[in-house]
Amino acid sequence: MDVQVVEGSNVVTDLTQNDFVVFDEKREQKILYFGRDAEPVSLLLLLDVSGSMKKYVDQVASVAREALHFLKPGDRVAVMLFSKGSMVRRDFSDDLDAVANDLRNVDWDERLGSGTAINDALVDASKYMREKAGESGRRAILILTDNLGLNYKSPDDTVIRNLYEADAVLNAMVAGKGERPEPILPGHYRNPDFTRPDVFYIADETGGEAVKLGRASTTFPEMIERIRTRYSLQYQSPRFGVTGFRNIRVELTPQAKLRHPTAQLRARKGYFLTR
């Protein structure tokens, strides 16, 4: 599992294995592997190319070479585009200059259709990660979108399950007027077949972060750097237990909390046990 530790806007980078405690269904687990920056990253850039997003895609593409500089040898990047449908623009590659050049030539393709199906695109991205990301290393998706649209029978919880099954963390850069949707008030009805997308919530649940795009020349490189500088923790999942969803939680030890009293941890909330 990937873990990010922040204090305010700063990433905490001085922690060791002895600073973490992991719980699986409230039972403490022995950490078998710990690393930071050691695991290679398979990063999927998921770009919303619907009409309202063109200028933001162009802004991100203009600083792609500088942003991808924060990745390390062994890291790979793929590019997927979406509007109503989705398509892979570039399969995973460690040629980061070629990826940056591709991003400069990104444009809407008529095969993508008209509209903005954010959650469908995230499901497609999850499936692509399962099939193409490989067996080792960390998996991350970075979506660029305005978080505006309407999902048809693709609720956020379906997306989250697909991301869990892909062992992928979602991070998001939200452009334009996109904001976190307001929660449904008690007593108000929402048709479950038609829902608003919420990449903020999905990022929270999978252990990632969602930020407003701001200046692409600042936000995009910062997001790549923050994706790259996360902790990796591994433990043995229980051999026996109730199948289905299992809750997991990561905390700092009391000693680590003394050193970092305002620290916040971002990590996935669980996984699905199928055996």
The pLDDT, as a whole number, for residue 107 is 82
pLDDT greater than 80 at residue 183:
no
Q: End-to-end alpha-carbon separation of the chain, Å?
A: 19
Per-residue pLDDT band at 136 (split at 50, 70, 90):
confident
The pLDDT, as a whole number, for residue 254 is 97
Handedness of CA 2, 271, 83, 174 (dihedral sign): negative
The pLDDT, as a whole number, for residue 14 is 93
Per the CB < 8 A criterion, the answer to whether 155 and 192 are in contact is: yes
How many percent of the chain have pLDDT more than 70? 97
Per the CB < 8 A criterion, the answer to whether 256 and 19 are in contact is: yes
Per the listing, tokens 């950490």 go with 31
The three-point CA angle 154-113-171 to 5° equals 50
Per-residue pLDDT band at 177 (split at 50, 70, 90):
confident
Per-residue pLDDT band at 275 (split at 50, 70, 90):
low
Residues 212-236: what's their mean pLDDT? 94
The pLDDT, as a whole number, for residue 195 is 82
The pLDDT, as a whole number, for residue 181 is 78
Q: Smallest Cα–Cα separation from 75: which of 54, 45, 49?
A: 45
Q: Is 5 exposed, middle or buried (0-12, 13-18, 19+ CB in 10 A)?
A: buried
- 84-114 pLDDT, tens per residue? 999 999 999 999 999 999 999 888 788 898 8
In this structure, are strands 270-273 and 244-252 parallel, antiparallel, or unpaired?
antiparallel
- 72-81 pLDDT, tens per residue? 999 999 999 9
Alpha carbon 125 to its chain's center: 11
Alpha carbon 149 to its chain's center: 19
Q: How far apart are CA 24 and CA 31, in angstroms?
A: 11
Q: What are the residue ranges spanned by the domains of the chain?
A: 2-36+231-273, 41-228
Per the CB < 8 A criterion, the answer to whether 30 and 20 are in contact is: no
Between 183 and 218, name the one with better pLDDT.
218
Between 22 and 239, name the one with better pLDDT.
22
pLDDT greater than 70 at residue 185:
no
Q: Smallest Cα–Cα separation from 217: which of 8, 56, 90?
A: 56
**Top-level CATH class of 41-228?**
alpha beta
The pLDDT, as a whole number, for residue 261 is 96
Q: What is the mean pLDDT of the chain?
A: 92
Per the listing, tokens 């930071």 go with 36
Per-residue pLDDT band at 205 (split at 50, 70, 90):
very high
pLDDT greater than 90 at residue 237:
no
Per-residue pLDDT band at 144 (split at 50, 70, 90):
very high
Please tell me the pTM assigned to this model: 0.93
